[in-house]
Amino acid sequence: EEVGPQEYVLIKMEVIPPFPPKLKVLEGRNVYLAAATLRPETLYGQTNCWMQPDEKYGTFEVNDIDIFILTARSARNLAHQVLSRVPEKPTCLAELCGRDLIGLQVKSPLAFNEIVYVLPMQNILTHKGTGIVISVPSDSPDDFIAFQELVTSPSMRVMYGVKDEWILPFKVIPVINVPGYGNETAKKVCFDLKIDSLNQKDKLAEAKEIAYLKGFHDGIMIVGEFKGRKVQEVKPLIKDMLLKTGGAILYYE
């Protein structure tokens, strides 16, 4: 049941030039892909980000300096949350679909990977968050299985135009240790529940619940500024750090 608005940390992932054709008019400006997460402390282990290939996104001026790529729905919500004078509707500078940005290079705050690529995932919901998700295969079963599917299915890569060098070698980046689960909780939970496809929705929901609860309640950071400390304590600290350094803003829905 609803208990009021959910707070998300909206990660600002900087689009690296050269811009693709759909974004060419924006080159020279600060353009960010905006991803909504509940687990900002996992950002160190981000390997890529996910967009829904067949759905629409836009580029919006949601504040005075930055241009964000996100769904129109989330742009509208965000404008109401960050602007003092809200225009009738936020200006969309360019319309695009997820497919247009597959292979786009972005730079994410805190991520050990210098650059990460935009990759397609069918399970991304466009009516939740911004429709863009940071992918952390070490701690998210969805992310682990989606990445593994791309790695093991050349035909899926061809279908979406995903180049081998964007995903290979598949290297999970450990961030959190969970006693009894190790440093790659998502992989272990998916193995235990025998999940190898995004179509196993019920099992994936179960895996997500386990990985999320265990990671949050029992997890210990094994990397970063707060190495050795409990995830529960560290999550708000990393959130504040990201907000202070301009790597993220808050988003509610």
Q: Residue 142 CB, nearest distance to ligand A2H (Å)?
A: 7
User: Rounded to an integer, what distance in angstroms lies between the CA atom of residue 24 and that of residue 17?
Assistant: 9
149-152-154 Cα angle (round to 5): 100
3-state secondary structure 91-103: CEEEEEEHHHHCC
Q: Residue 226 CB, nearest distance to ligand A2H (Å)?
A: 16
Q: Residue 108 CB, nearest distance to ligand A2H (Å)?
A: 11
Pick 25 or 125: Cβ nearer ligand A2H: 125
Pick 101 or 124: Cβ nearer ligand A2H: 124
Pick 24 or 217: Cβ nearer ligand A2H: 217
Pick 100 or 143: Cβ nearer ligand A2H: 143
Identity of residue 195:
I
User: Rounded to an integer, what distance in angstroms lies between the CA atom of residue 237 and that of residue 105?
Assistant: 27
Please provide residue 248's backbone torsions phi and psi, each rounded to the nearest 5 degrees.
-155, 160
Pick 39 or 187: Cβ nearer ligand A2H: 39
Residue with the closest Cβ to ligand A2H?
129
Half-sphere exposure of 17 (CA within 13 A, CB side): 7
Kindly list the distances between the CA atom of residue 12 and the CA atoms of 34, 69, 86, 137, 248, in Å, as whole numbers in the listed order.
5, 10, 21, 19, 5
List Cβ neighbours of 218 (8 Å cut-off, separation of 6 or more). Answer: 178, 179, 180
Q: Residue 176 CB, nearest distance to ligand A2H (Å)?
A: 8
Residues in the site for ligand A2H, rule: CB under 6 A?
Answer: 6, 36-39, 42, 124-125, 128-129, 131, 133-136, 139-140, 143, 208, 212
Q: Residue 111 CB, nearest distance to ligand A2H (Å)?
A: 12
In order, the DSSP letters of 119-160 are EE-TT--TTSTTSEEEE-TTT-HHHHHHHHHHHH-HHHHHHH
Pick 85 or 253: Cβ nearer ligand A2H: 253
Residue count of the chain: 253
